Structure 1
Amino acid sequence: MASKVAVRKAALREKLVSLAEARISSGGLRALKARDLAKDAGCAVGAIYTHFEDLDALALEVNGRTFVRLGAAVSAAVDGHEGSPHERLIAMSLAYLHFAADQPRLWRALFSADVSSDGPVPQWYVDALGGLFEHIAEPVAELFPGFDARELDLMVRALFSSVHGIVLLGLEKRISAVPIDGIERMIAQLLVQVGNT
């Protein structure tokens, strides 16, 4: 049985992650400031650093949660879906688009945090991203049955990058912005061609 101190530490850690998630959701990564977070949590600034090496590590923890939620949204889009591989890819991509549109700051934080595959990325973070790619890999494997594991991985990453680019540019409030239904059509037009060349 965990000691009272261990329980309090675990509760503070969870509270810090939840508060950081709320701050990132409302103001983006730049809203994550140690003093403000400590005030929200009712703790000393130093207490944050007993749980996390730095604010990047805390943001990474929030990103891990976001990846899990994103993976669940993508998975739910195809649970029980008996359509073609193209239809499933489109359904997953639209779920990705709508998650990004509904949670824009958390979604952007996934790709803004200082994370590199060359650096010390926690395994749980790699697993969360891998889970997202696994959903994409199933219909892609059906479309390209002759691909070995490396070719399949590259195609999954290429399709993810393509859809991500469409979503990112489409949601920008700049000259490249298009309405959501236009982004949906762009994604469908791209994915319906996959494997048909």
Structure 2
Amino acid sequence: MNNVQEESLRDQKKNRRRRQILEIARGIIAAKGLRSLKVRDVAEAVGCSVGSVYNEFGDFDGVILTVNRETVQALTARLRGVPVEDPVRQLYGLAETYLDFFAGHANLLRSLFEHRMEDDRPYPDDILQMVMDAFALMHPPLVRLLPDADDVKIALLSRTLFSAVHGIISLGLEERMVAVPPQMLRQQIEQFLDVHLRGLGILPQR
């Protein structure tokens, strides 16, 4: 076996171990929440040392951040799949899709919003931008529905709407507090959007 083949095998083994670390970490977060994720548990499940986990990701934050990046990428892909022909239906569709994704991946999304970096280091800008880009998907339909509004106002409105939807869903699915059945939560989100869009003059007053 020549040096190139040996290097290729090492790379394959490294990539396989990296995928295993992420799969184990993602599974623990999804099932038990971020607080249950321990580096020793991940290393033991993968069959490697704690040092190997750190070598792959720099530190344990690197593992969590990689999982979080994949979560927001999956969320954004789902949101981008909402039909855009009717801007009003698109707004409702974005909210409903967010609810469906949150209901199916609650702990992974909570990890995205709840993770705090070690030593109070700043949260990576790229993930913050990815989250903002996901929230900004409400911007295009609002531009179509409010063509005379200032773009800065529309940008703020889109973030506010999505933040409100996120808050309703996050609290509604919190089992320790006010847990609301998903179908009732869907109705509450629709009612919230009804009231808000009527206030903006997008929907007719009853």
CA deviations on 1:41-85 (whole Å, 9 max, x unpaired) are 111110111122322221111011111111122222x23x533x2
- Alignment-derived partner of residue 13 in structure 2: 8
CA distance in 1, matches of 2:16, 2:178: 44
- Alignment-derived partner of residue 56 in structure 2: 51
Query: 1:9, CA displacement in angstroms?
Result: 2.3
CA distance in 2, matches of 1:176, 1:107: 18
Contact 1:86/1:191 (CA < 8 Å) preserved in 2?
no
CA distance in 2, matches of 1:26, 1:164: 21
How has the CA–CA distance of structure 1 residues 16 and 183 changed in structure 2, closer, same or farther, with 3 Å as cutoff? same
How has the CA–CA distance of structure 1 residues 150 and 175 changed in structure 2, closer, same or farther, with 3 Å as cutoff? same
Query: 1:158, CA displacement in angstroms?
Result: 0.5
**Worse overlay, 106-115 or 21-30:** 106-115
Residue of 103, 106, 109 corresponding to 2:108: 106
Residue of 61, 67, 71 corresponding to 2:72: 67
CA distance in 1, matches of 2:16, 2:125: 21
Alignment of 1:33 with 2:38, yes or no, is: yes
SS of the aligned residue for 1:146 comes to coil
Contact 2:116/2:123 (CA < 8 Å) preserved in 1?
no
CA deviations on 1:102-127 (whole Å, 9 max, x unpaired) are 11211211111116xx925152x245
Alignment of 1:158 with 2:160, yes or no, is: yes
Alignment of 1:189 with 2:194, yes or no, is: no
Identity of aligned residues (%): 33
How has the CA–CA distance of structure 1 residues 175 and 58 changed in structure 2, closer, same or farther, with 3 Å as cutoff? closer
Unaligned 5+ runs, structure 1: none
Q: Which has the higher contact order (CA 8 A, sep 6+)?
A: 1
Contact 1:32/1:55 (CA < 8 Å) preserved in 2?
no
Query: 1:142, CA displacement in angstroms?
Result: 1.7
Amino acid at match of 1:165: G
Unaligned 5+ runs, structure 2: none
Alignment of 1:140 with 2:145, yes or no, is: no
TM-score by length of 2: 0.82
CA distance in 2, matches of 1:57, 1:67: 15
SS of the aligned residue for 1:109 comes to helix
CA distance in 2, matches of 1:165, 1:147: 25
**Worse overlay, 39-48 or 132-141:** 132-141
- Alignment-derived partner of residue 121 in structure 1: 124
CA deviations on 1:6-30 (whole Å, 9 max, x unpaired) are 3332332222112111111111112
Query: 1:163, CA displacement in angstroms?
Result: 0.2
Contact 2:136/2:159 (CA < 8 Å) preserved in 1?
no
Contact 2:68/2:111 (CA < 8 Å) preserved in 1?
yes
Give the number of the structure whose alpha-carbon radius of gyration is greater. 2
Query: 1:175, CA displacement in angstroms?
Result: 5.2
- Alignment-derived partner of residue 93 in structure 1: 95
TM-score by length of 1: 0.85
